Amino acid sequence: MIPEMTNKLPSSMNMTLASYLRKTDDILTRNEQKRWFAGLEETAKKGIQQFQSASAEVQNGIIGALKDRIRTEEIKAWYSAPEGNSLFQGTSISSLTIPYTISSPLKFRSIVDLEESIANAYIQLHKRYAKKVKKAVIEDVDTWLNEGLYYGVVLSSKIISQAFNLSVKYSDVVLKIGPYTVDPHEITSFPDDVRHEYFEKCLKHINVFGDINLEQREMESSLVLADISKPKMKEYKDKIILAPVRCNEIASILSDGITSRIREKTAGKINPRSLAVVIYDTDTPYTYHRIMGYCGNGLSLILPGLTILGTSGTIEAFRWLYAYRVSLIAQKMMKGSLYSEVHRHFVPFVFFGVLVPRDAEILLDMENLHRLRYRGNLNPELECAYLIPGVLNAINHCGSQVFSWEDFEKKHLLNN
């Protein structure tokens, strides 16, 4: 277990989720952001058009190819989790998988505390492992290491919720609507008019989101992913922790804040070009997909085992399925809150790095890991649509040549 930072984090202004998200307004004015949104729209529209105009056979081929890629990430995640004291575990973007492990849960009074804590952990773990990585690689990696050993960090969604104090009394969300007693974890079992009335009542009872103009789907998703099991802290007694909303925006703003703090704290000695921030929830995505409307058109593919709520970085900078792989690994390492309490083994963050600089340059876009992907939460329809032109291109280049026994015999069985 790593010698930990003090759990008494510096006091800071209590920033609400609503005020934090206002930083998105500045992000949207950046020229690089506008260029990315234009490229996203062009490629995703092309993918949707290609899928809708394709025959059923081609559509099935596209979906099959995407499912194969999902399965590949599951297998890579399976052998990428650390074993014992191993430093390098998997391949490519999961070569270096480093948990920040402590014996007591961190207590966040605000999102500023969380930024501070992640930056401190990044610096501590960089200093601990940089020399070991340098010894393991034959090339000169000094310049690369100066940019920071880790390209990204994975967080559980409830860490975000704690930072914004997104918790409510359980009695405030189990409400009487006409003849029904509505429990949010069973929200999809009620008629639409009951769900809408429940949403309207929740807006009056739940004030932790401030003046965010929440949609019904956002409120329902936050409630259905809410945790009853939680850190053993007095302030959460008789409460549930709601899931955060608009996690792509949170991730992008967090990325900017964390990297700025790393540069400032190290006087530029560690100078990340950007940092991917991934936010996931341990719940399986089936009910969440239904609430968000991700069903019915064939493009809302399920990533089994967890729900990815958001990530920073353009799709080109950090692929959707990379976010899935690192989330699976992080979930395995973080385990559950009850396990952590019993064993005094808490992992609030997991950092990821590559083995050599070439992997980073080929597989990631290190300049754009902080970029706002798009607003809201991660959208599997949009992610799949963006991938379709590339998937179709790969399918078409495979050709349709029928197996020829004569050709096989000449190449592999007959003496030339």
- Any idea of the CA torsion for 386, 356, 367, 306, to the nearest 10 degrees? 50
Q: How far is CA 320 from CA 12, 77, 115, in A?
A: 34, 14, 24
- Per-domain residue ranges for the chain? 17-166+243-398, 167-241
Higher pLDDT residue, 251 or 88?
251
Assign 175 to helix, strand or coil: strand
Question: For residue range 224-279, what is the model confidence (pLDDT) as tens digits?
Answer: 999 765 555 666 667 889 999 999 999 999 999 999 999 999 999 999 999 999 99
CB neighbour burial string for 303-336, b if at least 16 within 10 angstroms, e if fewer: bebbbbbbbbbbbebbbbbbbbbbbbbbbbbbee
Sign of CA dihedral 127, 109, 97, 300: negative
Mean pLDDT of 275-289: 94
Q: Where are the alpha helices (DSSP H) in 93-246?
A: 111-136, 142-146, 157-163, 192-205, 216-224
- Rounded to an integer, the average pLDDT of 276-301 is 89
Strands annotated E in 40-184? 96-102, 152-156, 167-169, 175-177, 180-182
pTM over 0.85: yes
261 compared with 341, residue with greater pLDDT: 261
pLDDT of residue 278: 98
Reply yes or no on whether the pLDDT at 199 is more than 50: yes
Q: For the chain, what is the mean pLDDT? A: 88
**Residue 148 DSSP symbol:** -
CB 162 within 8 A of CB 152: no
**How far is the C-alpha of 313 from the C-alpha of 374, rounded, in Å?**
9
pLDDT at 9 over 90: no
pLDDT at 227: 79
Cβ distance 327 to 306 under 8 Å? Answer: yes
Rounded to an integer, what distance in angstroms lies between the CA atom of residue 256 and that of residue 16?
18
- 373 near 315, Cβ under 8 Å? yes
pLDDT per position as a tens digit, 133-152: 888 776 777 888 899 999 99
Closest CA to 13 of 150, 87, 113, 156: 113
Which of 139-153, 241-255, 361-375, 392-406 has the least mean pLDDT?
Answer: 392-406
